[in-house]
């Protein structure tokens, strides 16, 4: 039985409001409700602990029929990190769920790759989750990003001068990496605030772990959380929700422009070739070696730069360290009639204009990595 609440939401009898809202979000994202193996990332903080407890509540109430593997990555950044891993393992066992953990040295990874700690941690986390999903034959990885995470991400990208794709924020559902069958899902993203996850943990009488790094204002995200967002809240008490709404609108606009950019890539790669099959043609369109300057020049700048971004991403395997300044430099190669010009890309790659074509030299230092997530 369902009943209406004062806020207009539909409550589900027999389960908590938090679990009920999670169930509604799960269904709105068209996620499977039965016979599904889910890899759930749990750090031990309030957000991921609340997600674990709510999924467990829904399973016990027969609203979802899922088998959960709780995945925990120890980043080795804090003295208490081993305690966090042990705490999550104990909770998973108490609830009767499978548990997987790994330990990695994020500082060493960051030094090797040139990433900052947050970037290195993100890459390590999603590599671990993808590998765990593959080992467990799961097509669904779930993380506990909330409305607050979305707002912080949008503001950080705004401060960096990101385009619409960046300001679209975190996607609620996407592939964990291009061409992978594994979905990455954030069912709390559109509705849950951090304070709500903390309250739900208290309701369930679970003392979640507290990461002291989340209080350290030497990190940009923490300064945004503790300084910028409270200031913006003084102008708009619903600023977190407003930022999320703006991100959704921008994501829709960016998606439409991205479709046009894909069409432009196909037109710009249209050399006359003796291709053997439709499959070969698709492969060429998916990763064209060079693009027609004439075709690119005829397109609007917003579509053209997205097409160049897609082209570089396909050629390199990711967009690591690629910034707007690099795209602008590549875009300028289209101007005029002179060939022989070069635009340098991060990590050693370059784009060269040869007569009426742009050619991509995608070599770069290090192995291919996952695209940035947030």
pLDDT digits (tens, 9 = 90+) for 83-128: 999 999 999 999 999 999 999 999 999 888 888 888 899 999 999 9
Hey, which of 102-106, 272-276, 347-351 has the most confident mean pLDDT? Answer: 102-106
Number of folded domains that form the chain: 2
Q: Which residues of 157-175 are buried (b: 16+ CB within 10 A; e: fewer)?
A: beeeebbbbbbbbbbbeee
Q: Mean pLDDT of all residues in the chain?
A: 88
Looking at the fold, whether 103 and 179 belong to one and the same domain comes out as yes
The SS3 call for residue 207 is coil
Q: Is 169 helix (H, G, I), strand (E, B) or coil?
A: coil
pTM of the model: 0.84
Instruction: Check whether residue 96 and residue 156 sit in a common domain.
Output: yes
* Residue 372 placed within a domain: no
Does 264 fall in a domain? Answer: no
Residue 319's pLDDT is: 80
Share above pLDDT 90 across residues of the chain, in percent, rounded to a whole number: 71
Local confidence band at 10 (pLDDT 50, 70, 90 cut-offs): low
Q: What is the pLDDT of residue 363?
A: 64
The Cα–Cα gap between 112 and 72 comes to 23
Q: What percent of the chain has pLDDT over 70?
A: 89
Does 239 share its domain with 288? no
Residue 285 has pLDDT above 50, yes or no: no
Residue 257 in any domain: the answer is no
pLDDT digits (tens, 9 = 90+) for 221-272: 999 999 999 999 999 999 999 999 999 999 999 999 999 999 999 999 874 3
User: b/e map of 88-126 (b: 16 or more CB within 10 Å)?
Assistant: bbebbeebebebbbeebebeebbeebebeebbbbbbbbb
Which of 163-167, 300-304, 368-372 ranks highest by mean pLDDT?
300-304
**Domain-located, residue 141:** yes
What does 233-269 look like in DSSP terms, one character per residue?
HTT-TTHHHHHHHHHHHHHHHHHHHHHHHHHHHHHHT
Residue 115 lies in a domain: yes
pLDDT of residue 9: 59
Instruction: Check residues 328 and 362 and name the one with the higher pLDDT.
Output: 328
DSSP annotation of 4 reads E
The answer to whether 38 touches 22, Cβ cutoff 8 Å, is no
When comparing pLDDT for 278 and 109, which is higher?
A: 109
Q: Which of 184, 219, 251 corresponds to the end of one domain?
A: 251
Asked if residue 160 is part of any domain, the answer here is yes
223 and 318 co-located in one domain: no
> Which is more confident, 128 or 179?
128
Is residue 259 in a domain? Answer: no
In terms of domains, do 303 and 189 share one? no
pLDDT at residue 365 is higher than 50 = no
Q: Residue 181: which residues within 8 A CB-CB, separation 6 or more?
A: 139, 175
Coil, strand or helix: which one is 32?
A: coil
How far apart CA 142 and CA 186 sit, in angstroms, is: 6
Domain identity same for 31 and 167: yes
Instruction: Give me the pLDDT at residue 160, please.
Output: 87
Within the chain, where are the H helices? Answer: 17-28, 46-60, 81-95, 106-113, 117-135, 147-160, 164-167, 194-203, 220-223, 229-233, 239-268, 278-286, 293-297, 301-316, 324-332
Q: Which of 251, 283, 311 is the last residue of a domain?
A: 251
**Residues 301, 164: Cα–Cα separation, whole Å:** 14
Predicted confidence at residue 178, as pLDDT, reads: 81
pLDDT at 253: 94
Q: Are 142 and 39 in contact (CB under 8 A)?
A: yes
Last residue of a domain, one of 251, 283, 301: 251
Q: Is 139 contained in some domain?
A: yes
Q: Say whether pLDDT at 3 is over 80.
A: no
Q: Verify that 74 and 121 share a domain, yes or no.
A: yes
* Predicted local confidence at residue 2, as pLDDT: 54
**What pLDDT shows up at residue 370?**
38
- What's the pLDDT at 156? 96
Q: Are residues 122 and 244 in the same domain?
A: yes
Q: CA dist 115 to 3, 365, 366, 369, Å?
A: 49, 13, 12, 12
User: Residue 78 in 3-state DSSP?
Assistant: coil
CATH of residue 297: 3.30.465.60
If 0-12 CB within 10 Å is exposed, 13-18 middle and 19+ buried, where does residue 13 land?
exposed
Together in a domain, 162 and 21:
yes
Q: Are residues 295 and 217 in the same domain?
A: no
For residues 148 and 23, what is the distance between their CA atoms, to the nearest angstrom?
Answer: 20
CATH of the domain at 37: 3.40.50.620
For range 4-27, the mean pLDDT: 80
Domain extent at residue 306: 269-361
Q: Do 290 and 205 fall within a single domain?
A: no
277: confidence class by pLDDT, cuts 50, 70, 90: very low
Q: What is the 3-state secondary structure (H, E, C) of 128-150?
A: HHHHHHHHCCCCEEECCCCHHHH
Instruction: List C-alpha distances in Å: 53 to 44, 92, 137, 257.
Output: 11, 10, 23, 39
Residues 101 and 225 in one domain: yes
């Amino acid at each position: 039985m369902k009943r209406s609440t004062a806020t207009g939401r539909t409550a589900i009898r027999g389960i908590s409001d938090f679990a009920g809202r999670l169930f509604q979000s799960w269904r709105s994202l068209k996620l499977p409700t039965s016979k599904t193996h889910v890899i759930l990332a749990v750090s031990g903080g309030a957000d991921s602990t609340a997600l674990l407890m709510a999924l467990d509540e829904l399973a016990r109430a027969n609203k979802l029929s899922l088998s959960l593997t709780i995945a925990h990555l120890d980043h080795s950044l804090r003295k208490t990190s081993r305690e966090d891993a042990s705490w999550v393992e104990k909770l998973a066992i108490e609830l009767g769920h499978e548990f997987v953990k790994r330990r990695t040295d994020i500082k060493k990874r960051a030094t090797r790759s040139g990433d900052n700690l947050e970037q290195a941690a993100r890459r390590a986390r999603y590599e671990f989750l993808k590998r765990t999903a593959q080992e467990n034959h799961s097509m669904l990885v779930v993380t506990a990003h909330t409305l607050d995470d979305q707002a912080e991400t949008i503001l950080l990208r705004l401060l960096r001068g990101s385009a619409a794709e960046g300001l679209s924020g975190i996607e609620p559902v996407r592939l964990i990496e291009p061409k992978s069958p594994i979905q990455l899902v954030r069912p709390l993203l559109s509705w849950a605030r951090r304070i709500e996850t903390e309250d739900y943990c208290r309701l369930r009488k679970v003392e979640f772990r507290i990461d002291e790094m989340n209080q350290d204002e030497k990190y940009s995200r923490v300064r945004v959380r503790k300084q910028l967002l409270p200031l913006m809240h003084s102008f708009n008490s619903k600023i977190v929700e407003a930022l999320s709404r703006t991100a959704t609108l921008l994501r829709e606009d960016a998606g439409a422009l991205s479709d046009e950019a894909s069409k432009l890539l196909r037109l710009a790669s249209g050399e006359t070739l003796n291709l053997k099959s439709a499959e070969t043609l698709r492969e060429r369109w998916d990763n064209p070696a060079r693009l027609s300057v004439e075709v690119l020049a005829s397109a609007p700048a917003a579509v053209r730069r997205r097409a160049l971004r897609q082209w570089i991403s396909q050629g390199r395997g990711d967009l690591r360290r690629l910034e707007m300044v690099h795209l602008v430099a590549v875009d300028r190669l289209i101007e005029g009639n002179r060939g022989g010009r070069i635009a340098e890309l991060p990590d050693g790659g370059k784009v060269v204009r040869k007569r009426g074509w742009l050619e991509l030299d995608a070599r770069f230092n290090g192995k291919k990595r996952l695209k940035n997530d947030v």
